Structure 1
Amino acid sequence: MLATIAFAIYLACCAGMLLYGINCYVLVFLFKKTSARKNPRRHLAELPKVTTQLPIYNELNVAARALRAIAAFDYPAHLHQIQVLDDSTDETRTLIDRTAAELRENGIWIDVLRREIRTGYKAGALADAMPAAHGEFIAIFDADFVPAPDFLKQLLPHFTTEKTALVQARWDHLNRDASLLTRAQCIGIDGHFGIEQPARCGNRLFLNFNGTAGIWRRSAIDDAGGWTADTLTEDLDLSYRAQLKGWHLEYVPEITVPAEIPETYSAFKSQQFRWAKGSIQTAIKLLPQIFRSDLTAFAKIQTVFHLCAYGMHALMLAVALLALPAIAYLGGGIPPYILVIFIIPLLAATLGPSVLYMVSQHSLRPADWKKTILLLPALVLLGFGICISNTRAVLEAILGIRSGFVRTPKRGENTSNNYAPSASLVPLLEISAAAYCALTLVIYARHGEFGILPFLTLYAAGFALVGICSLREQFDARKA
C-alpha cells in the first residue's frame, strides 16, 4: 500500500516537472514573438521630483559605493531626494553618516532614516520611509547595485501612461568572473531578465519588480496598499497587487544596472531560500484573488507558473527520494513504457530551462554566448544541489512558518570585512542525499535500467557539490 502511494506521488511529481519544462518553451516562444517590440518612450517636458531609496542593513563593504553612485545622478539636486534607510547595527552607520555629510557639502539632498527596531525588515523600512518621501516617483536600489549617472533620465521617459506603475531595468553583473559559482548564477539570472521578463511584459502578462533597479510611481504604491511585510518577497507581492488594481508594469532590458552576485554557496542558498519562500507565500496570499479576477485563463496559468516556480525544487527532491521505492514497487524491473514516463519529465525539466538559458545568452551576449553556454552544466548542478534548501523554504511557506529577512552578504571592493555564514545542518543533509542518490544509481545500474542513470548522476553530483562546498565554507569561517 505504501509503495503504491509512493509511486503515485512519484508520477504526480513527474507530471509537475513535465508541465514546468513545457512552460519554459512557451516563454521562449512568447519572447520570440515580441522580441522586436520597442519599449515606448515619451518626451519629458518637465522633470518630476524623484525620491531614491537605499535600504541598508550592515552593508559595510558596499554602502558608500552605492550612495556615491546615486548621488552622482545627472538630475537637478532640488528635484532628487535620497533616502538612506539604514537599519544597520554595526560600523556601517558611521560610514553612512560620514559619506552623507560629505555629499551634503556638495549640495546633495540626503536624508538618513533610522529605526530602533527592524519591524518588517526591508518592507518595513520602505513603508516607514514613505511619509517622508517627497518624490512623485520612487527609485529603489539594493546596496550592491551601482547605477549609471543617467539612470533616472533613461528610465523616467518609459512612464508613457498614467497607469504605468513601474519601470524595471535589467540587472547586470559586477563580479561575473569571480568564480565558477558566479558565472553559473549569471546564466540563471540572465534567463529571467533575458527571456521571462520581456516575454511577460511584451505579452501583457503579470511580471514583477525585482526589488531594486526600478522606479515606482508613488500613487501606484499607495493605491495597491503600500509595502507589506507578510511575505519575504515584498517586491513580488506589491507588483501583483498593483497589477490586480489595473496598473501596468514595464520592463526595459536595454537599460542595465550592474550588481554583485553572491560569491559563496551559503550566500547563494540564503538568497534562493528567501526568493523561494517569499514567492510561495505570495502565491498563497494572492492566487485566490487572481483566480477570481477577469484575467484570461492563459494569464492565470502563467501567474501560477510564475509564483510557484520554486515549487519545482520540491518536485525534483521528491523524484530523487522516491526513485528507489519506485523500482522496488515495480519489482526490480521497469517496463519500457514506464521508463518513458520516468525519463520524459526529467528531460523536460532539464532541457526546458536549458533552452531558455541558451536563448537568453544568445539574445543578451551574442558575441560570446557559445562560450558562456559551456557553463550550463554547472548551473544544472546548482539547480539540483539546492533542492533541499529550497524545498525547506517551500514547506515553511506552506506551513505558515515565519522567518526573518536574511540579507545576502556583499563583498564589494573590501575583502577584509567578510560576513561569516551561519552554521547549518543543511549541508550534511545535502551530502547524505548525494550518498542516497549514488546508492539509487547503483541499484538501477544493477537492474540494467541505464536510461535514468544520467539524471541520478546529476542529482548525486549536485547534492555533493553544494553540500561539500557549503560545509567547507562553514569550517573556513570557524577558523578565521
Structure 2
Amino acid sequence: MRSFSDKIYNSAQDAFAAAQPEFVLDEEEVPNTVSAEIDDSLPTINPVDISRPVVIGSQAWKAVSWQPRLGDITEYSSDSDTEAGPRDPLSKEQSGEVPPPPPRPRQSSRWKEELERKRSDSIHSLETIQQFQSRLAHTVSVGSRRSSIVGTTLWTPNAIHYRIRTRTGQGSISGASAFSQIVEVDSTPGVNKIQVPRPFSAITTFHDQPITPLSAVHELATHDDGDRISPWRTKLHAVTPLATSLSLGAYFAYFAYRVYATLEAQRTLHRVFPVAWLFIASEFLVSIPTCFNSAYTLISAGGRRRPKLRLEGNQVPCVDVFITCCNEDVDVVADTVRAACVQDYPSSRYRVIVCDDGADLQLRTVIEGLSLEHLNLYYHARIKIKGKPHHFKAGNLIAATEMVELLPGGAGEYIAALDADMIPEPDWLRCVVAHMVKDPQMGLVCPPQLFYNVPDNDPLVQSLDAFVHVMEPTKDANGVAWCTGSGYVIRRKALEAIGGWPTGSLAEDVYTSSLLLGNGWKTAFVHEPLQFGTIPDTYTSHLKQRTRWSLGTIQTAIKLNFCIYGDVVKNMTFLQRLSGFLFPAGELFSLFLTVVLVSIPVVLVSGGTLVAYANYNDLRWQIRLAFIALILTRFHEFVGYLPASYRFAQRDALAHVWMTPYHSLTVIRSVLLPSWLGIKPMAFKPTGSIKGELGERDAQNRAPLWRRCVVIIWTCECYIHLAYVLFVLVAVALSTSRAFTSGLQDTTAKLMYLLTHAFWPPMLWIICLTAFATPLFYMVFPPTVPDREDLLDRDPKTGVARPKPYWKKRRWGKWTFWHETQWTVCTLYSAVLFVGTFIY
C-alpha cells in the first residue's frame, strides 16, 4: 500500500513543483498559535511520543512531545524568529536533527506577547514541515482524482475542523471535540492561500506498515466450526453426499416412472391425459429448488477444510474499518462503533470510520463524544448532490475509501466493513485478517451474519441459519465464497485490481466478491460467530430486505453475463461460473414457480385424472417410488441440515415458497417491464433504516389487529396469499366431494378416486397451503421480542454492549411442532400406502 500512496504523492509533488503556489498566513484571521478552553471534566489522555511527520490538510507536522490534559489550555507553537526556508525533514530526521520551521509571515505584537506568555505552559512543541504540502495544493488547484476530499466531511479525534472550498463544491473535515479551528483553502484563480491549521495529533502508525510474519498466524484448530458442531453431528453430517445421491436418484426414478406409466396408460386406454401431464410437471418444478440444493451439495463431496486461525502479537497489518450507516437508530450504530473500537487489536494499527450516508447530526454528535475516548475513531459523511447517482452503499464505500487515503499515513493495507447494526466480537479482526496474512492470494474473507433479536420459532425464517451454516460452507468448499455484506475484510490491493467498489447493483457485496474471483483472487468463508446484528422487526421491512437481495442478485448476474463469458469472469473456475449462473437463475425461476403453484389447485378443480395408470401394478409402483423418494428426502434433510438444525430443512423450503410471489413481482416490475410504462422500480432502503409502522413485535405498542390486517393484506399485497389459501381449500373440498357425488357406487372406486386426486402422496397441496398461510398466521399471532436493550449485556464502565448468550441461540416453542407434525403425518400416510401396495 505504500507504493500506491507514494505514487499519488510523487505525482502531486511534481505538480506542486511546477505550479509553486505561495501559501500566505492571514494574521488577522488565524494566528500560528491556537488555543482553546476545554471542559475540566473531560478525561486525561496518556502521553504519546510521535517521531514521524503526519498530515494536516496542506501541512505535515512532527510532534516532538505530547502530554496534553484535555482540561488544560491546548496550544501549538513554533519558533517565530527564524527566517530560514523549509528544509527536507526526512534527511534531518535521519541525522537526528529537527528541521527548523518554514518562514512565518509577520505577526502582530499582540500575538507575540501572547505566545511568550504561554510558552512556559506549552503542551505541544510541533515543527511544521512541507513534505505533503503539494498533495492538497494539487488536489485543489489541479483537480486530480484526489479531489474527492471536496464534498466530504471527516471528523477526527484531535478536534480540528478543516473546511475546504473550491469552485466545484464544498465539504469539511472536522475533529470531534468541544472546540475547533476553521481552515479555508481558497481556489480562486490566482490566489493560493491556506490558513495554518492546528496540527493533527497522530494516534496511529499507518505511515509505517511492517510486514506481518507468517509466524504471527497461529492455527487453533483444524476446522473453524469445530466449536459449534458436536462430534456426533460432524460424523453424521459426513454421510451427506451419500444421502444426497440416494435422494436425487429416488426423485428421478419416481418422475421417470410417472412419465412411463402415463405413456403406457395412453397407449393402452387410447386416451390423452393432459391434466396428468400438468400434474407431473407441477410436481417436478416444485421440487427443482430442493434438487438444485442437493445437487450443489453433492459437488462439494470432498468436504470443507478451513482451519481456525488467529493473528497474534502487535506486528499486525493496518486495517481501515468502515461502519456504513444511513438513518439507522443512533443507539444501534453507537453500539457497533463501541464494539469496533475495543477490538483485541493494536489501536495504532486500525482506524474506525463511521460512514454516515444519512448525514445525521445526532449521530455526528455521538461519534464526536466517543472519539474523545477512542482516538482512532472518525466520522465521515459525503455530500450527495440531487440529480447525480449516489450508488447507494457502494457510493458510500467509494467515498470512504478515497477519504482514508488523505489521512495521516495514508490508507491501510486492508479494508474491513460492518453494517450499522452488526456488533463484532473482540477477536473479529484477529481472526479474519489472519486468513489474509496466511495466503497472499486471498482477496476477501467473510464471516457469517448472525442475529440476536430473532423471535421464538422464527416464524418468517429470518435467521439465515440454513444459508450461513449449510449453503455458505458448501460454496466455500467449492471455492465460491461470496461476500455476505458485513464483517468482511478485503485486501486493498485486490480492490484496486478490480477497479474499486463496483456500482450498478444493490448487491454490491456479491458483485465485489464475484469480480475478485473473476480477477483470479481467492475468497474465503470463516465459519465462526464473529458478529451479531439485528433482523428487520416488521413484516414490511422483512419484505423490503429480501426483495432487495433478490433484485441485487439479478442485477449482478446481468452485469456479469451470468458468469458465462466476458473479461471480468475470465479467471473463474468451472464451479465459480456454475455458482454465478445457478443462484441468480434460481431467483428468475420464481416466475415459473409461481405459475406452478397456481396450477396445483387448478388440476384439483378440473376434475381430470391426475395420476394415469394402465393397470394396478403401475399404480402400486408409482406409490412405492413416491414413498421411497419422500423418505430418502427426509433422511437427506436430517443429515444435511445438522450444522444449522434439522428444523430449518423444511422451514427454509416453505419460506421460499411463500416468498415466491414477492420475488416474481420484483423481477417483473424492476427487470422485465420497460421503464416507459411508468412502473416505479423498487427503491433502495438500508435494512437498519427501514422503520416499521406496525411495531407488531412490541407487546406494549403493537398495532391493533384490524390495522395489521390492512397493512399486511393490502399494503404488503398479502391478499395474494389469502386468495391462494382459499383457492386451495375450495379445490380440495370440491375434488373430495366428487368422489361421493360423481356416481361411483363401489367403495374401492371412491377410495381410488381420492387416492389419485387430492390425496396422492405426499399431498403437495398441504405443503403449499401451509407455506402460504405463514404470513396470515404471523399477522394474527405476531411474536413478541423484548426491547433491544434487554437483549444486551452492557458494560457499565465502557458502555460496550454485547448480545446475551441466550439470545444468540435459536429458541423453539410449541408452534414449531406444527411444522413437524404435518411432515410426520404426510410421511406416515405415505408409509401406510407403501405397505398397502404389498397387501392389496
TM-score (norm 2): 0.48
Helix, strand or coil at the partner of 1:284? helix
Which residue of the partner structure matches residue 363 of structure 1?
A: 643
Gaps of 5+ in 2: 1-272, 405-410, 676-680, 692-696, 739-752, 783-840
Helix, strand or coil at the partner of 2:358? coil
Q: Distance in 1 between matches of 2:451 and 2:401?
A: 29
1:408 pairs with 2:408 = no
Which one of the candidate residues 310, 315, 319 is aligned to 2:596? 319
Cα gap change, 1:315 to 1:343, in 2 (>3 Å): farther
Helix, strand or coil at the partner of 2:766? helix
Alpha-carbon shift at residue 49 of structure 1 (Å):
1.4
1:193 pairs with 2:468 = yes
Contact 1:18 1:348 in 2 (8 A): no
Worse-matched range after superposition: 461-470 or 131-140: 461-470
AA in 2 matched with 1:408? T
AA in 2 matched with 1:190? D
Report sequence identity in percent: 20
Which residue of the partner structure matches residue 611 of structure 2?
A: 334
Contact 1:65 1:146 in 2 (8 A): yes
Contact 1:25 1:355 in 2 (8 A): no
Which residue of the partner structure matches residue 175 of structure 2?
A: none
1:79 pairs with 2:353 = no
Helix, strand or coil at the partner of 2:560? helix
Which residue of the partner structure matches residue 435 of structure 1?
A: 726
Alpha-carbon shift at residue 52 of structure 1 (Å):
0.9
1:461 pairs with 2:764 = no
Alpha-carbon shift at residue 334 of structure 1 (Å):
3.3
Contact 2:666 2:682 in 1 (8 A): no
Matches within 5 A, 1:367-446: 369=645, 373-374=646-647, 378-399=651-672, 402-409=681-688, 424-445=715-736, 446=738
Alpha-carbon shift at residue 149 of structure 1 (Å):
1.8
Q: Distance in 1 between matches of 2:558 and 2:279?
A: 24
Helix, strand or coil at the partner of 1:83? strand
Alpha-carbon shift at residue 348 of structure 1 (Å):
8.1
> CA deviation digits over 1:269-318, x for unaligned, max 9?
22211111111222222135434546555543333222333345433322
AA in 2 matched with 1:174? Y
Matches within 5 A, 1:192-271: 192-204=467-479, 206-271=480-545
Q: Distance in 2 between matches of 1:237 and 1:10?
A: 38
AA in 2 matched with 1:49? C
Alpha-carbon shift at residue 342 of structure 1 (Å):
13
Alpha-carbon shift at residue 222 of structure 1 (Å):
2.2
Q: Distance in 2 between matches of 1:345 and 1:294?
A: 43
Q: Distance in 1 between matches of 2:767 and 2:672?
A: 29
Matches within 5 A, 1:47-86: 47-60=316-329, 61-86=331-356
Q: Distance in 2 between matches of 1:346 and 1:119?
A: 54
Q: Distance in 2 between matches of 1:23 and 1:465?
A: 24
Contact 1:343 1:452 in 2 (8 A): no
Q: Distance in 2 between matches of 1:397 and 1:356?
A: 36
Q: Distance in 2 between matches of 1:10 and 1:404?
A: 38
Alpha-carbon shift at residue 132 of structure 1 (Å):
0.9
Alpha-carbon shift at residue 76 of structure 1 (Å):
2.6
Contact 2:275 2:608 in 1 (8 A): no
Helix, strand or coil at the partner of 2:449? strand
Q: Distance in 1 between matches of 2:351 and 2:605?
A: 65
TM-score (norm 1): 0.80
Q: How much is the aligned-residue C-alpha RMSD, in angstroms?
A: 4.1
Helix, strand or coil at the partner of 2:324? strand
AA in 2 matched with 1:404? A
Contact 1:147 1:258 in 2 (8 A): yes
Q: Distance in 2 between matches of 1:224 and 1:24?
A: 30
Alpha-carbon shift at residue 213 of structure 1 (Å):
1.2
Worse-matched range after superposition: 26-35 or 429-438: 26-35
Cα gap change, 1:453 to 1:25, in 2 (>3 Å): closer
AA in 1 matched with 2:778? C
Alpha-carbon shift at residue 50 of structure 1 (Å):
0.9
1:173 pairs with 2:446 = no
Alpha-carbon shift at residue 192 of structure 1 (Å):
1.6
Q: Distance in 1 between matches of 2:608 and 2:426?
A: 66
Of structures 1 and 2, the one with the larger relative CO (CA 8 A, separation 6+) is 1
Gaps of 5+ in 1: 474-480
The structure number with the bigger radius of gyration is: 2
> CA deviation digits over 1:352-394, x for unaligned, max 9?
6x77764465335xxxx5xxx3565554443322221122123
Cα gap change, 1:329 to 1:270, in 2 (>3 Å): same
Q: Distance in 2 between matches of 1:104 and 1:311?
A: 46
Cα gap change, 1:78 to 1:256, in 2 (>3 Å): closer
Q: Distance in 1 between matches of 2:528 and 2:540?
A: 31
Cα gap change, 1:432 to 1:156, in 2 (>3 Å): same
Equivalenced residues, count: 455
Which residue of the partner structure matches residue 147 of structure 1?
A: 424
Helix, strand or coil at the partner of 1:62? helix
Which residue of the partner structure matches residue 380 of structure 2?
A: 113
Contact 2:641 2:649 in 1 (8 A): no
Matches within 5 A, 1:278-297: 278-291=552-565, 293=570, 295=572, 297=574
Q: Distance in 1 between matches of 2:363 and 2:309?
A: 37
Which residue of the partner structure matches residue 477 of structure 1?
A: none
Q: Distance in 2 between matches of 1:313 and 1:81?
A: 43
Contact 2:324 2:420 in 1 (8 A): yes
AA in 2 matched with 1:145? M
1:164 pairs with 2:437 = no
Q: Distance in 1 between matches of 2:622 and 2:510?
A: 35
> CA deviation digits over 1:406-454, x for unaligned, max 9?
222479xx97999998972411222122222323333444462111673
